[in-house]
Amino acid sequence: MCGIFAYFGPKEKAADIVLKGLKKLEYRGYDSWGIAAKQKDGRIYIEKHVGKISEVISLEDSLTSPSHLAIGHSRWATHGGVTQFNAHPHADENNKVVIVHNGIFENYAELKQELIEDACLFSSETDSEVLAHLIAKNMDEGFEKAFQKAISRLKGRYAVLAICEDEDKLIAARRGSPLIIGQGEDTYFVASDVPAFLAYTKEVMYLDDEQMVVITKDGATFSSLESGKTIKKRLISIDWEVEEAEKGEYPHFMIKEIMEQKDTLSRTINTAEAKLNEIAKLISRSDRAYIIGCGTAGYVAHIGEYLFAEIANKEVIMRPASEFHLSARFLTEQSVVIAISQSGETADTLEALKLAMNAGAKIVSIVNVESSTMARISDKILPIKAGPEKAVASTKATTAQIAILTLLAHASANKLDEGRQLLIQTMGSINDMLNPRYEDHITSIAGNIMNVQDIMVIGRGISHPVAMEAAMKMKEVSYIHTEGFAGGELKHGPIALIEEGVPSVVIAPDDNFKNEILSNAMELKARGALIIGVSPENAEVFDYWIKTPSAKHANAITHIIPLQILAYKLAVLRQHNPDMPRNLAKSVTVK
């Protein structure tokens, strides 16, 4: 969930380069950060802070001395509070070995006790620090051997980097948490995500699970953590542009990415016909099919369940990835599991896919990062090609995922051309919808409800998971307590929450459930609710109306976008940063 960035190369401003890289990774979520740089005399200097990286203009003098090797880390607290001592990088008591770490060492407590008994002095409360001491303990065998011996004793998911005073090397390893190596001219970068070094190179190599890499002035050598056998890696060119990872004229990434949906959907529409038909046949031949995801991806999966039922008359069962263990016992070699993740590194989803793999089920991944762990372990991949998404709250990746599922459901019904045409028309409607007047109208509505304590969002049919996703967006970025419900469930409990003036967003597309959801709106209004209608047509029950295009089976896309804007506007009016909501991270790589 944290950010890792390292530089090894000929430039002598390594710490400054790492600082810039960490700033590019701020979207991942963090509460503290630090940088370690190795100077020409071999000594390693460390600077650590609690707070925002973006507020730092320059580093301390000790880090600005000439250096060609530096590592950095932005921490999201797990073991130990948010303090400067607990911030990374961490070192042994002699400052000879320095490490950064994402993930959790599950057996750190017993290792720490062993190290304390061996007279090691700890300076933090973290699980991470044990690695520095374990490496230092065996440095008489050489840096690489000491690193391998230390790693072999650790349990859990991790991505780690290590440097030492004695040798001019950068060593990295991973198990379940992403690390990507960027290669330039006599230069190497190691990062949690590509945008960190996109300004320097688009040539990358991926470190897979149970692998390590040793980087020196002679190059990068990959090997297996278990066997030590050397592994050859191919260089892959990333097709993202630097501009896609920058805010440009927009005040926040979230609104930029909302507005980009006019363009990102067109890339999704062009997904290869053969690939869609191949996966559709896989689903048709399966004895059971599941669709899984976490958070927003979970709500997209729920939308997919409706799409397959309505378009293809097929049952594809939605399960939250974190709770998939119950359904996994029913998987066979004829089963299919469709996994959804923007990053392709979501820990709970990867754990669910391990269960599917153990059962011999076929795996289909819908991801934005084609070279992610999830993509690499899948039998089939459907890339959404949304480009880098840096706001923590997903927007353009969400609608691209829904679009892919819409195409796949149509392909399963042998109606792929019809599905493409539907999305082309929808894309045109969205282009017309996303204009300054429309945005100003939603700003006005947000201004009238910005100080409330609670919001309710309701929908029926496919609009039920849309309501839950809209509620997720609002609570994520505005911190207003927001709940999404099925309209038919109101009288079974949720209507007790309604008091005078509670805003209730009613999603009312032009579908078979329109009359029922408008009836629910009347029930809410009779009890004092303020009704915000999201619908192609105005209705007497609405106090405010947000107009949406009618898009038939693509209504989930056209109705979620204005609610993304509403969430964004509420966050801004309440003076919160919508790109980096508190306590959240972009990629949840720990369970």
Instruction: Output the domain CATH number for residue 193.
Output: 3.60.20.10
Model pLDDT for residues 33-42, shown as the tens digit of each residue: 999 999 888 8
Same domain, 128 and 145: yes
Instruction: Band the pLDDT of 80: cuts 50, 70, 90.
Output: confident
Query: Is residue 103 in a domain?
Result: yes
Residue 294 in tokens: 């976490």
Same domain, 489 and 414: no
How confident is the model at residue 580, as a pLDDT?
86
**Tokens 């590509």 found at:** 194
| Beta pairing partners, 314 | none
Same domain, 268 and 296: yes
> Where is the domain boundary, 190, 212, 238?
238
Is residue 533 within 8 A of residue 508, CB to CB? The reply is yes
More confident of the two residues 539 and 228: 539
Does the active-site annotation cover 586? yes
Across 390-408, average pLDDT: 95
Least confident of 191-200, 240-249, 277-286, 417-426: 240-249
Model pLDDT for residues 273-307, shown as the tens digit of each residue: 999 999 999 999 999 999 999 999 999 999 999 99
Across 195-210, average pLDDT: 88
What 3-state class would DSSP assign to 442?
helix
More confident of the two residues 126 and 80: 126
Which is catalytic among the residues 2, 120, 164, 294?
Answer: 2
Nearest to 566 by CA among 446, 475, 458, 434: 446
- Position 111, amino acid: L
How confident is the model at residue 76, as a pLDDT?
76
Say yes or no to pLDDT of 71 above 90.
yes
Same domain, 441 and 542: yes
How confident is the model at residue 589, as a pLDDT?
54
Average per-residue pLDDT in the chain? 91
The helix-helix angle for 396-412 and 296-312 (nearest 10°) equals: 20
Instruction: Band the pLDDT of 376: cuts 50, 70, 90.
Output: confident
Same domain, 429 and 449: no
How confident is the model at residue 241, as a pLDDT?
63
Query: Pairing relation of β-strands 44-50 and 32-39?
Result: antiparallel
Across 12-36, average pLDDT: 86
Say yes or no to pLDDT of 244 above 70.
no
Query: Is residue 195 in a domain?
Result: yes
CA distances, 162 to each of 37, 138, 270, 525 (Å): 11, 14, 43, 60
Say yes or no to pLDDT of 1 above 70.
no
Taking the C-alpha atoms of residue 255 and residue 247, their distance in angstroms, rounded to an integer, is 9
Is residue 103 within 8 A of residue 88, CB to CB? The reply is no
How confident is the model at residue 35, as a pLDDT?
94
Domain count, the chain: 3
Q: Give the chain's radius of gyration (CA, Å).
A: 25
Is residue 233 within 8 A of residue 214, CB to CB? The reply is no
Same domain, 21 and 60: yes
Across 145-159, average pLDDT: 92
Model pLDDT for residues 88-121, shown as the tens digit of each residue: 999 999 999 999 998 889 999 999 999 999 999 9
Say yes or no to pLDDT of 406 above 90.
yes
Query: Is residue 368 in a domain?
Result: yes
Is residue 74 within 8 A of residue 27, CB to CB? The reply is no
Query: Is residue 84 in a domain?
Result: yes
Across 173-193, average pLDDT: 90
Model pLDDT for residues 513-562, shown as the tens digit of each residue: 999 999 999 999 999 999 999 999 999 999 999 999 999 999 999 999 99
Q: CA-CA-CA-CA torsion for 380, 386, 390, 394, nearest 10 degrees?
A: -80
Q: Which percentage of the chain shows pLDDT scores above 70?
A: 97
Same domain, 417 and 544: no
Which is catalytic among the residues 11, 491, 586, 591?
Answer: 586
Nearest to 393 by CA among 576, 234, 231, 515: 576
Buried b (16+ CB within 10 A) or exposed e, 80-89: beeeebbbbb
How confident is the model at residue 560, as a pLDDT?
97
Same domain, 58 and 84: yes
Same domain, 18 and 94: yes
Same domain, 403 and 498: no
- DSSP H helical segments within 479-583, as ranges? 514-525, 555-573
Per the structure, the complete domain to which residue 115 belongs is given by 3-238
Q: Residue 230 CB: number of other CB atoms within 10 A?
A: 9
How confident is the model at residue 585, as a pLDDT?
65
Query: Is residue 524 in a domain?
Result: yes
Which residues in 301-399 belong to E strands, given as ranges? 317-320, 336-341, 362-367, 380-383
Query: Is residue 588 in a domain?
Result: no
Say yes or no to pLDDT of 222 above 90.
yes
Main-chain dihedrals φ then ψ at residue 378, nearest 5 degrees:
-90, 155
Model pLDDT for residues 485-500, shown as the tens digit of each residue: 999 999 999 999 999 9
Across 393-402, average pLDDT: 96
Does the active-site annotation cover 362? no
> Where is the domain boundary, 434, 458, 489?
434
> Where is the domain boundary, 434, 459, 484?
434
3-state helix, strand, coil in the chain (%, to 5): 40, 25, 35
Same domain, 188 and 268: no
Residue 175 in tokens: 């198990």
Query: Is residue 587 in a domain?
Result: no
Which are the contacts of 191, defined by CB distance < 8 A and separation ≥ 6? 3, 4, 5, 6, 21, 25, 179, 180, 182, 197
Q: Which percentage of the chain shows pLDDT scores above 90?
A: 71
The helix-helix angle for 143-152 and 129-137 (nearest 10°) equals: 130
Same domain, 126 and 203: yes
CB-hemisphere CA count at 13 Å for 150? 32
What CATH number has the domain bearing residue 398? 3.40.50.10490
Length of the chain: 591
Say yes or no to pLDDT of 58 above 80.
no
Q: How remote is the C-alpha of 262 from its chain's centroid? A: 21
* Widest CA span in the chain: 80
Least confident of 145-149, 341-345, 368-372, 382-386: 368-372
Query: Is residue 589 in a domain?
Result: no
How confident is the model at residue 388, as a pLDDT?
84
Is residue 412 within 8 A of residue 314, CB to CB? The reply is yes
